[in-house]
Structures are given as C-alpha cells and as structure tokens.
Chain A
C-alpha cells in the first residue's frame, strides 16, 4: 500500500499540474500499464485544475492498493450549489481569466468520471468540495468490465427509451437523453440496435477496407454474401472480392453443418433430459453466461461456426467481415488486430458498387445463368438455410431476443424436456436478420440458397478449450467493505422509490435506478413519481 499526499494552491497557474506530475513519476516506478496511467493522469490533472481554478487550497491524497488506486481531492473553496448541473458537459463557472488560458470548457468533472471506474462528488456551499475517484489498475483482469462493440451517438438519441425496455440484460440507461451502455452487462446482442429508430445505437467498426497489400484471405459469412440481392448474387460477390485482390473467400456454412452434426451426437450422448443449447450465436452464449448461469452445463462446448472457421484457417492476416456486434467482439477479443482484422458489414456497403460502373453489367451476366446456379443444390443444410425456422432433425430453432429469453426461462424452470436441442439466434431469421444488414432477411435467405458452396472437407466442429463461466457482474467498488456500504445505500434509496418499475426514468427498473443514483449515474429527481411521493410522505 502506497499513500501519497500533495498540497495544491488555488490560483497558482504557474505550478499547477505539479502534483499530477509528481504522482506520475511515482506511478511509473510502480510499473502501471500505460493505458491505465493515462486514465489516472487525466483524472488527476482535471481534479487538480479544479482546485487551482475554483478554490483557495486543497489536497490530493492517493492510495495505491493491490488492484486499484483511490484518489481523493479535497478543497476549501466556494463549493458547488448544483452538482447535477456541474456534472453536465459544457457547463462551467470558471472565471474569464481561466477561460483565456483554455480552461473552463466544462469538461473537467465529466472527464474525471469517464476515466474512473468509481466516482463520487460531495460539496457543501461555502465550505468546499471533495472528489473521490477509483481506478482499476488491471483492466484486463477477471473483474474487468467486458469490452463490447455497441456504441452510442448521444446527439442522435430521441429519448424514446425503447432500448431500455428491449435490452435483455438491463444494460442500457438513458438519463437526460444520454444513452449509456453498461459494458459489464452488455452481451452484444442486437436488441437495442434493432429497436432504435433514431440511429443513436450503432455497432462500432473500423470503417475502412484494408489496402491492397493487406488483402489475402477473407472470411465472409453467408448472411453477408447474400446482401447484394438483385445486382449481385453471392457467387458474383465472391468473384468480385477475388478481382479486388483477395486470394480466397471463405464462408462458414460447412462449419455450421459440422456444428449441427456434433450437437445431434451430443444429444445422443447426454444423460439427462435437458435440451442441449447450440453455441451457434455468440450473443446467446453471452446471454446464458450473464443471465442464465444455471444453463451453462447445457451449452454444448463448441466454438461458434465463424470462430471455428477463423481458428482452422492458418492464413494471416485474415480479414473477417461480420454481420453483428457479438461476432465482432468475439473475434476481436480472441485475436490480435494485426493477425485477424475484423470489420462490420458496413464496409462492404461502402465499398461494393461504389465507383464500379461495370458492376451492374456483371450482375446481368450472372443472372443469365440461373439454371446453372440453381441446378445442383444438394448441400446438406440447404433445406435448413432456406427455412431457418424449421429443422428436420427435431432441433428447436428460436430467433429474436425476446423469444430466446422466453425459451431459456422455460428451460430454467425445467420445462421443454422433450426437446432434444435448442438452436437460439439473437436476431430474427438467424444471422440474416441482424440489424446491421440492409437486405430483407427473407430475400437474403432466398438468395443464399442459390450459392453452391464448398462444403469444405476439413470443416469440423471445434471443441472449446476454455470452459464457459458465469459472467461476473462488476463489483460496486473494488474495495469489498466499501462495496457492502454502497449496497446498503442502494437498499435505502430503493425503499424511497415507488417500486412501479415503469422505466420512465431511463433505467429498466427501480432497483437499477437506485444503483444508478448511488453510483452517481442518475439523480432521485429522474424518477417521474418522485414529486408525488414527496407530497404523500412529507
């Protein structure tokens, strides 16, 4: 445990930042990861400058313990009359002199909050302000928040709150028209993107195509191949990609069939009567790990088809064009960016057909031989591809997050014992229905049926080496005793809330709002019933 204390003098712009700098030198010696150090430095500098700009004097106390850094910046100054307002980006009370120097952008407190894992501010007008921030030192550790690929554009949000209701794990919050996705809860399914009409929720992607030199083998799932409906059949798209410099175009269909076979043989081997859950959709695997941990033993321990394909393709660098955030996250977390480049499907929409006048002609040329394309179709999963909602082997195929949650809930209650296996997809119509895709899913499935794919001889279901584990929620505070205290506070706040779980505050339920209030994400006044309540119980 290291403890440091630094004095800060208000109004002294010349030596401002000195405490942060001393802290940095100390922390560097401890050997903290650069990315974490960056976060600490931003928080420390902003907190220090707040004292310099607004207060007479203050102290920065830092405690470094195993796994986390606690920072407390306390000052003697005017205090903050309205903390909610002060936390708003762009709001500042800095004097003109400070603004001339580039301060007073109203980003200080939000910057500290954004860069810390735990943040609390207390202030008394006329006395002073105290900021506490905690930053985890090992963000990649077990307790670390999960990375996800869904991002938010606040400026587009219309505040309709439908995403809050749609999220199966309660990961979305919309407080004052500002959607926030709690990474430790997000499972990268597409429920929120699907329901969002304003386009504020998107899947983050590297939006450019690799340069010609980087192009080697490319993995394009069938659902993506079938996106260019009338102008380009899947087969033509493959030809186009080859002309564009990709040496091989691979698709996951063979691996999907292999996985299905393996699931069926798992069913035969399985002793109890619970259905086997196919890991075909990584978002559903995340869902089980997060919300249905009791079903983890029923998840078949195999890689998802895309994962297996990437795993068994030795070529590097490998470009993967994926249709959904779950696959984006899965592949990005597993492989280094220099080896496997994972992009969302939007790059293809941006590239294919743009500045390609010869394209339409090619499309026509392709359509001249539909007989040839439709002639030999006896691939094993052809039937399944055409009608993804029906499976001849008695597997229950369920798609769409709502229905998947319903089926998993029933399984958890011990029902569905006569079903041998469940194949759940987060998106309706399976991967074809991902909201990142633009083509009508039914038509895309129809198109995909025309592709004569190579049911690669080496395609096989690959066993997962790491077992599934229940996803740990994030601790309220890295320090256990603090976390217990916070838990008590959350209960106290919850008792004052109406308990209607109406969701109008932007949190999915009253318990979620109580947690948000205690963790500083929301205020009691966000509750629409708050005023009425007060009148009744003065």
Chain B
C-alpha cells in the first residue's frame, strides 16, 4: 500500500511530495529517536508523538517514505517543506497513537489477506 492510499484509509491529513506513491511494507511506532532510527528504512512508516527537527533529520537520513504525526497537531510549514523536499510525506492523524496504529494495522492486514 502506498503512503497516499494509507493516509486516505486512516483519515489522516497528508502533506505530500514526490514520495506519496512509495510503498509501505512496515510500520514502527515510538517516541524515542534511537528506536525510530534503528527501525527506520526506505519502506517504513514512522508513527510518533515527537515533533522536532531531528525527527525529520532521521527521516532524511534513512529515506523514510512517511512520518505519521498524531492528535491533529499543527506542524511548522518550514519543517514540512524540508521533509517533502527530501521525499518524505508527512501525515497528521487526528487520533492518538493507539487508535491510529489500530487503523493502520487494519489496513495493512486487509491488504495482505486480499
């Protein structure tokens, strides 16, 4: 499933760039930079409460296709632009971590079984 389809399925707002058609094969949710860093890859969606320039830095380093932020937070345009330029989509879910992860899980499961 690509980033854009996933965003539509979980009802998240999406700031997309050229990366929106990249495929997601795994998802990692967490709030610690080290964990996100070691889980990140070029087909991993990161789900996190963090909003910090360093988050976008690791996305850039690991060429992550998408970052999903939570609770409908607003993000500085500057940060989003930087991420989008580097090919990372920024998703903003209106739900918390638990609900969002549940929805993503459901989507990916449905895709796998179909």
Contacts and interface: CB of A to CB of B under 8 A. Distances in A.
Q: Which of B31, B52, B54 has the most CB of A within 10 A?
A: B54
Interface residues of B, number: 22
B34 interface: yes
Contacts, number: 63
Contacts of A13: 52-54
Contacts of A17: 54, 57-58, 61
Interface stretch (A103-111, A280-288, A316-324, A526-534): A103-111
Contacts of A45: 37, 57-58, 61
Contact of B32 (A24, A34, A38, A107): A107
Nearest to A39: B38
Contact of B33 (A14, A20, A49): A49
Interface in B36-65: 36-38, 41-42, 48, 50, 52-55, 57-58, 60-62
A264 interface: no
B99 interface: no
A34 B58 CA distance: 15
Main secondary structure of the interface of A (DSSP, over half): helix
Contacts of A252: none
Given A101-B33, A105-B32, A107-B35, A21 B61 contact: yes
A416 interface: no
A33 to B, nearest CB: 13
B70 to A, nearest CB: 13
B62 A41 contact: yes
A337 to B, nearest CB: 14
Interface in A106-150: 107-108, 111, 114-115
A108 B54 CA distance: 15
Nearest to B113: A211
A16 interface: yes
A66 B9 CA distance: 47
A16 B53 CA distance: 9
Contact of A38 (B33, B53, B62): B62
A13 B54 CA distance: 8
25 contacts: A13-B53, A16-B54, A16-B57, A17-B61, A21-B57, A21-B60, A24-B61, A34-B42, A38-B62, A45-B37, A45-B57, A46-B37, A101-B33, A101-B50, A102-B32, A102-B33, A102-B52, A102-B55, A103-B33, A105-B35, A107-B35, A107-B38, A108-B34, A114-B38, A115-B38
Interface of A: 13-14, 16-17, 20-21, 24, 34, 38, 41-42, 45-46, 49, 101-103, 105, 107-108, 111, 114-115, 211
